[in-house]
Amino acid sequence: MVIARVLVLCALASVLLSGTARADGVSSGADIQVAQTLGTRDLTVILRRMDIAPGPLHVDVVTHTGSAPGTLKLRASTAGTTFSETTVRLDGKPGAHAARLRVDQPGPWELGLDDGTDTASIPFIVPARVIPPWEKATFGGFVAAGVFLVLGLVIAMRVRRPQLALIPAGGMVAALAVAVTGAMLSASTPPPPAPGAALDPTIDNVQDPYANAQMSTVDFSRPPVNLAVHPPNARAGALAQVRLALADGATGRPVDDLLVHDDALIHLVVISPTGRLWHLHPVRVGPGDYRVKFTPPEAGTYAVAAELARRGGGVQLVRSTMTVAAGTDSPAEPVPAGAGKRVVQGNPVDVEVRPGTPTTITARFGKADLQPWLGMLGHLIVVGPITGDHRVGADAAAAPTWAHVHSMIPRSPGMPDKPDETVAAYGPDVPFTYTFAAPGKYRVWLQAERDYTVLTVPMEIEVPPEGAPQ
């Protein structure tokens, strides 16, 4: 009976210790926000976090001021087969438009967008509930301990030689040791490599990322991409469709491993000959094939820069140029020099520049009603030095400095994820910190969002030889 009591105490210990086991599977993560310049509309597509499949996939399509009304068809597809589709009616009012699709299994998926003229495809991953090896060891150890416990009790009570019960008792102790070790490891062992970020997003990698744990670093020596810009028959004053071809720098094959970086697959900055700026987000239509539309207002050389993140290659900035033929040119407004007050699209803005190393540039928008754009409070783009006001595009394409600086959103208690554009509660100050590396004349653009309108504040800064702007 003493052995039986020992076995019962071990069983109680196993029950108490089982509470320390913690799951450490693949997290479904947070919402995915992807900015898309689809035709003439600037959209933000928000894929709400999904915990399990099969199940509903909630999608919000955020439109901005000036977005035309119409119909947008959404499709969820995997392995080239459409599983579900729905239609979103865009009423012309800026804001979020909700939709719901269905997915039936974990793995790599694509969200298709179709407005009747232009299409886009956004890759995303439906997560799987993955049980880590140490969690399996914990549960398996407790189950084995329970089996040995029952076996030991039977032997102790029914066999004339109760000392034989020590054999299953030893097995139970060993099983408990495995379970407790697994439970302790679960608290300190890192999660598996994330499919899509560290592993190629295949069905096997999503459903069992531990099988490829030895590939957790993938190949972080992937070469940079080569960018080719094709603006066929682009003319001033007319809508131009620009094709971006991304090719692997080593093999020349189309690049199809871009990650969502700062809420976009590609951040495309275009600068005109007189310094007008577009911050666009080309849509993916196929491997290495991205498209974007905009209306160039003047003829000449435009600077084109694409900021992107490649799996295994990190964040990259690739630059090129495009030429726009003469057409219906529109004159550019003069660019304010230095700090001061100005009005941008009916919004008063006061820009303050504090010289120094680094330099602080702050835009004050009057009220605390700014919205996050691309996950940030504001964006600052710095290009230079430049030589002339009518060749800014050509100078920017070859400029030694091309910087993209962020003003971060203050963290809020109880809000682990980044707020989306439906939250208008930030500002009024949008501060940036930047160090100018060389003297000269720079073009600077500050960007922030209010009332679903992206406000762009251009300015010119002269940096003397001492390094502090005047």
The answer to whether residue 220 sits within a structural domain is: no
pLDDT at 57 (0 to 100):
93
The Cα–Cα gap between 42 and 238 comes to 18
pLDDT at 183 (0 to 100):
73
Average pLDDT of span 404-412 = 88
Query: What is the overall mean pLDDT for the chain?
Result: 85
Residue that finishes a domain, picked among 87, 106, 126: 126
The answer to whether residue 332 sits within a structural domain is: no
What CATH number did the domain enclosing 392 receive? 2.60.40.10
Taking 70 as the threshold, does the pLDDT of residue 353 lie above it?
Answer: yes
Taking 50 as the threshold, does the pLDDT of residue 217 lie above it?
Answer: no
Across the strands, what pairs with 450?
453
- How does pLDDT run across 192-213, given as a tens digit for each residue? 667 777 777 777 777 777 766 5
Residue type, 460: E
Q: Would you place residue 162 in the very low, low, confident or very high pLDDT band (cuts 50, 70, 90)?
A: low
Taking 90 as the threshold, does the pLDDT of residue 172 lie above it?
Answer: no
pLDDT at 14 (0 to 100):
40
pLDDT at 11 (0 to 100):
42
Q: Vertex 207, ends 206 and 208: CA angle to 5°?
A: 95
Q: Would you place residue 460 in the very low, low, confident or very high pLDDT band (cuts 50, 70, 90)?
A: very high
Same domain membership, residue 425 and residue 352: yes
pLDDT at 320 (0 to 100):
95
pLDDT at 16 (0 to 100):
38
Residue that finishes a domain, picked among 274, 291, 324: 324
The Cα–Cα gap between 107 and 124 comes to 9
Same domain membership, residue 13 and residue 134: yes
The answer to whether residue 330 sits within a structural domain is: no
Q: CB of 41 within 8 A of CB of 31?
A: no
CA end-to-end span of the chain? 91
The Cα–Cα gap between 291 and 240 comes to 10
The Cα–Cα gap between 186 and 188 comes to 6
What CATH number did the domain enclosing 111 receive? 2.60.40.2550
At 187, give phi and psi (nearest 5°): -85, -20
Same domain membership, residue 158 and residue 97: no
pLDDT at 239 (0 to 100):
96
The Cα–Cα gap between 56 and 174 comes to 44
- How does pLDDT run across 33-69, given as a tens digit for each residue? 999 999 999 999 999 987 777 889 999 999 999 999 9
Instruction: Say what angle helices 166-188 and 133-158 make with each other, to 10 degrees.
Output: 160
Cα torsion 388, 394, 400, 404: sign: positive
Residue type, 318: V
Average pLDDT of span 9-19 = 40
Domain count, the chain: 4
Look-up of token digits 């232009």: 118
pLDDT at 23 (0 to 100):
30
Taking 90 as the threshold, does the pLDDT of residue 215 lie above it?
Answer: no
- How does pLDDT run across 106-154, given as a tens digit for each residue? 889 999 999 999 999 999 988 887 777 767 777 777 887 778 777 777 7
Same domain membership, residue 242 and residue 157: no
The Cα–Cα gap between 459 and 445 comes to 6
pLDDT at 417 (0 to 100):
66
The answer to whether residue 428 sits within a structural domain is: yes
- How does pLDDT run across 258-291, given as a tens digit for each residue? 999 999 999 999 999 999 999 999 999 999 999 9
Average pLDDT of span 408-428 = 82
CB atoms within 10 A of CB 288: 20
Taking 80 as the threshold, does the pLDDT of residue 467 lie above it?
Answer: no
Taking 90 as the threshold, does the pLDDT of residue 240 lie above it?
Answer: yes
Taking 60 as the threshold, does the pLDDT of residue 1 lie above it?
Answer: no
The Cα–Cα gap between 280 and 294 comes to 9
Q: Can you give the residue range of the structural domain that contains 450?
A: 340-463
The Cα–Cα gap between 462 and 468 comes to 9
In 155-276, DSSP assigns E strands to 225-230, 240-248, 258-259, 267-271
Cis peptide before 127 (omega within 30 of 0): no
Taking 60 as the threshold, does the pLDDT of residue 318 lie above it?
Answer: yes
**Joined tokens for residue 281:** 């987000």
The Cα–Cα gap between 197 and 208 comes to 15
**Joined tokens for residue 80:** 């080239």
Query: What contacts 452, CB < 8 A, 6 or more positions away?
Result: 62, 63, 64, 65, 94, 95, 371, 421
Q: What single DSSP character describes residue 387?
A: -
Q: Would you place residue 2 in the very low, low, confident or very high pLDDT band (cuts 50, 70, 90)?
A: very low
